Amino acid sequence: MEKCAVCGVDAKQKCAGCNLIFYCSREHQVIDWKKAHKKSCKCFEFESNDILGRYMIAKRDIKPGEIILKEKPMIIGPKTISHPICLGCHKSLIPIENDYYKCSKCTWPLCGKSCENSEYHKDECKLYCEKNFKSSIKFCESAKAESSYCVIMPIRALLLKKSKPKVYEEFSKLVSHLEQRISTKLYEALRINLAQFITNFIQFPNVTEKEILNIAGRFDTNCFEVILPSKKIKARGIYLETAMMAHECVPNTKHFVDENFEMRVFATIPIAKGQKILTSYTHPLKTTIERRLGIKQAKCFDCICTRCIDPTEMSTFASSIKCTACNNGVLTSIDPLENLSDWKCTNCSQKMPGMKVFQVLNEIKIKMENLNKKSVQDCEKFLNDHEHILPNGSVFVVDVKYALCLLYGNVDGFLFKDLSQVQIERKMKLCEEMIKLLSIFEPGISNSVLNTQFELEACKIVLKRNDSSKEKLLKVYNQLITSSEGKSLLETRLKRIPI
């Protein structure tokens, strides 16, 4: 029998937060919560090693869907180079009479008077006023991204040094990888512009150029995107605990930021006690070379995760191209951790230099970037044009087919009521294929899989194929409603289905 954490007698009541501590009564649980447990009530803890630095592990078994942590940002603000956003609420700015509203005290653009005293802006506002700062940001039709936003987050961090020294101390423990970053063009520009602005113009006391660049590096290594499409917010934030999750290209968690900028991390698959709690710093529908180069550039390490070391990427052949010599096999890298390693056919003796494969994949990537993924015709043409070169599990094919799963039934000219039997069957086949593939890249709870399941059940309802489809569709709908896609978009999709 477990013992009460307060008085030591036999106890049956378990803390529902961490599932690790027991109490004999509600009263003792309340006493312990106030005294100590509030701080330690977590299902995770931190460990560290030479390769990962600090990382998060499960203190107990965690079920899929369970919230692992919730936390408020330590700092939130614009990206280094950002489209004009309000420094008070972080919404994209809308011009008033051909210019943005400017803070009546410091002149930085804001969305209106009410944001002048926002908790995010008021301290920095005082600093800019003291130095008689004048913002040069003006509205222009082409809406260019502004590099002057690079100063905001570092100044917000430095202000914490005085206002919340303990929090700043925690922030200072985050890795910056400054040694690797310092010789890059971006950091040379930051050294000249950002560091000089803070030391010479703002004359921030007791801060060196190195500390400023370290701060910039900490942001680049540890920030999470804060994207709320419904509120037109595109910012970034430091979440001190969330930042401790190490990376794997196939992670076991997902996270989202709610309307109050609170981060929530939840398990997507079961995580056993002692296992690492992992996130992904990249996108699942990128080739191995692209993922690894992106991670190297942004986070300064070489990913050697299970997906990256497997030339077949869990038998999906996600980064492969078809062999044009035998027309039967696909080319896979001989050594996926060596970007320029030769590739060889799975069926014949054909080999291709890594550089050539890289060029082929890059050309396709450029075509993908220019593809109108809102057009059924353009997406179908892309698939047709690349059928001879891209295998079914290619990230490019999956990306476009996933787009088609959502387009058929939901866009003008292709609404459910307009679809022919052949088109509905095409949509169903795409959905079935995508559910299988997407579940490999994002196992467990995944928005893209749920979206595709939703569309598949919709097809079955339209074709009156399955009596339980309505029930299944509503179940998926309820799971999706909490997702970032937003309720209204999902409701519109629901309305198009004749249930």
Ligand X SMILES: C[S@@+](CC[C@H](N)C(=O)[O-])C[C@H]1O[C@@H](n2cnc3c(N)ncnc32)[C@H](O)[C@@H]1O
Tell me the closest approach of the beta carbon of residue 279 to ligand X, in angstroms: 9
Helical H segments across 300-333, by residue range: 306-309
Site stretch for ligand X (CB under 6 A), options 197-205, 253-261, 269-277, 298-306: 298-306
CA distance 321 to 331: 6
Tell me the closest approach of the beta carbon of residue 446 to ligand X, in angstroms: 20
174 binds ligand X (CB under 6 A): yes
Residue whose CB is less far from ligand X, 106 or 246:
246
Residue whose CB is less far from ligand X, 299 or 427:
299
83 with 77: CB under 8 angstroms?
no
Kind plus residue range of the DSSP H or E element containing 77? strand 75-77
Q: What are the distances in angstroms from CA 235 to CA 31, 39, 99, 111, 175?
A: 39, 29, 21, 15, 21
Tell me the closest approach of the beta carbon of residue 259 to ligand X, in angstroms: 24
244 binds ligand X (CB under 6 A): yes
Tell me the β-bridge partners of 92: 85
- CA 224 from chain centre, in angstroms, equals 7
* Residue list 200-239, contact with ligand X (CB under 6 A): 221-222
How many positions of this chain bind ligand X (CB under 6 A)?
Answer: 18
300 binds ligand X (CB under 6 A): yes
Report the residue closest to ligand X, judged by CB: 53
CA distance 377 to 365: 19
Of 316, 353, 322, nearest to 338 by C-alpha is 353
| Residue 151 DSSP class | G
Tell me the closest approach of the beta carbon of residue 466 to ligand X, in angstroms: 42
Site stretch for ligand X (CB under 6 A), options 28-36, 173-181, 226-234, 331-339: 173-181
Site stretch for ligand X (CB under 6 A), options 67-75, 114-122, 242-250, 331-339: 242-250
Residue whose CB is less far from ligand X, 31 or 300:
300
* Residue list 43-62, contact with ligand X (CB under 6 A): 51-55
247 binds ligand X (CB under 6 A): yes
CA distance 134 to 154: 18
Of 444, 485, 66, nearest to 265 by C-alpha is 66
Residue whose CB is less far from ligand X, 217 or 391:
217
Report the residue from 93, 216, 238, 243 that binds ligand X according to the rule CB under 6 A: 243
Report the residue from 121, 161, 299, 307 that binds ligand X according to the rule CB under 6 A: 299
- Tell me how many degrees the CA angle 300-304-305 measures, rounded to the nearest 5: 115
280 with 441: CB under 8 angstroms?
no
Binding positions for ligand X, rule: CB under 6 A: 51-55, 174-175, 177, 221-222, 243-244, 246-247, 299-301, 303
